[in-house]
Amino acid sequence: MTNSSTVTTFLLLGFSDSWEQNIWYFILLLVVYLAALTANFLIISAVSTDQHLHTPMYFFLVNLSVVDLGCISVTIPNAMINSLFNTWEISYSGCVAQVYSLFFFLIVDFFLLTDMAYDRYVAICDPLHYETVMDRTVCIKMAASAWAAGLLYSGLHTGSTFAITFCSNVINQFFCEIPQLLKLSCDNLYLIEVGVLVFGVFVIFPCFGFIIVSYVYIFKSVLKIPTTQGRNKAFSTCIPHLTVVSLFVSTGSFAYLKPNSQSSSDLDLMFAILYSVVPPLMNPIIYTMRNRDIKTAIWKMIDCGNFSERKARFSPTI
């Protein structure tokens, strides 16, 4: 193909050429997708129904769960359909929509993680002013800024990606992503690569640096807490967030900031799964493993009917 105007469809290489193997991939993807949907919906429902969880930390956690639902819904359902019918074509417009949506959710995810780091910093390092600093208006503005940043940056990167000339329409991935599309370019990618570098220098690295500095101060404050129970409670709210940040940044940075020619297709596939599929599945698990409030709220929500029935059974009659 000589130029981008002749590209009407892209061919995703997918997982396998064998229909039998793709059926197994379909089953695996279905299980992962249903598990991610269930886990994130449980968190959203638990926080929404429990008044005790209407705090800034859980407000941002609900936003993160919404982003996780969107992120995994961009890639997995289409991959499931392709695996089931053993066809890996995607239209040009469909590829554009997938690139824009995925990058949008990834950017929002990262900015929300930054917001959550600031929330933990204020809560632990300046607890007396926490309710004043992190009031409802501030939280809404911070979350809205994250979503607005996603709209802006995803539009810029999607537009620059599809402005290039494509020499091929074969994408070595199971979904459309910017690094793989850039490999198909016939053009000099110097300006795009400079743009990605500038984006990383002025947006990604400052946010990541802010998260690291915040946690340096957080851990200093936690170590000053006199009681073991207090330290454990503080760590229980910080370690899950730091784990999610580490997983997201390490896999996403490798996929988007590495030179396009310096990785194998198998490695690209593995890291694509790690940054687009694993976090939406693991984030709810990480946040609920050591969070007693979330687990209690989920249990109350699930056991609500039985609890009401027992309460009515043992209530005295007048």
- Residue 316 domain flag: no
Alpha-carbon separation of residue 174 from 42, 82, 148 (angstroms): 28, 9, 28
- Residue 309 domain flag: no
The mean per-residue pLDDT over the stretch 182-194 comes to: 72
Closest CA relative to residue 114, chosen from 202, 208, 254: 208
**pLDDT score recorded for residue 2:** 42
- Give the domain range for residue 105: 4-296
Closest CA relative to residue 178, chosen from 198, 200, 151, 159: 159
- For the segment 244-262, what is each residue's pLDDT rounded down to a tens digit? 888 777 777 776 666 655 5
| Residues 6+ away with beta carbon under 8 Å from 163 | none
- Residue 304 domain flag: no
How many domains in the chain? 1
Tokens of 187: 């053009």
What's the pTM? 0.85
Percent of the chain with pLDDT over 90: 29
Closest CA relative to residue 290, chosen from 244, 245, 233, 242: 233
Mean pLDDT of the chain: 82
Residue type, 301: M
Asked if residue 134 lies in contact with residue 196, where contact means CB atoms within 8 angstroms, the answer is no
Lowest mean pLDDT among 23-37, 83-97, 112-126, 271-285: 271-285
The mean per-residue pLDDT over the stretch 203-227 comes to: 85
- Residue 310 domain flag: no
- Residue 302 domain flag: no
- Residue 144 domain flag: yes
> 3-state class of 115 per DSSP?
helix
Lowest mean pLDDT among 83-92, 141-150, 196-205: 196-205
> Would the CA dihedral through 27, 32, 36, 39 be positive or negative?
positive
Asked if residue 172 lies in contact with residue 183, where contact means CB atoms within 8 angstroms, the answer is yes
The answer, yes or no, to whether residue 192 has pLDDT greater than 70, is no
- Residue 41 domain flag: yes
The mean per-residue pLDDT over the stretch 216-229 comes to: 84
**pLDDT score recorded for residue 171:** 87
- For the segment 94-117, what is each residue's pLDDT rounded down to a tens digit? 999 999 999 999 999 999 999 999
- Contacts of 191-198 with C-beta under 8 Å, sequence gap 24+, read 192/160, 192/161, 192/164, 195/157, 195/160, 196/157, 196/256, 196/257
> 3-state class of 276 per DSSP?
helix
> 3-state class of 169 per DSSP?
coil
- Residue 54 domain flag: yes
- For the segment 43-58, what is each residue's pLDDT rounded down to a tens digit? 999 999 888 889 999 9
**pLDDT score recorded for residue 225:** 79
C-alpha span between 77 and 272 (Å, rounded) = 15
The CATH number given to whatever domain includes residue 168 is 1.20.1070.10
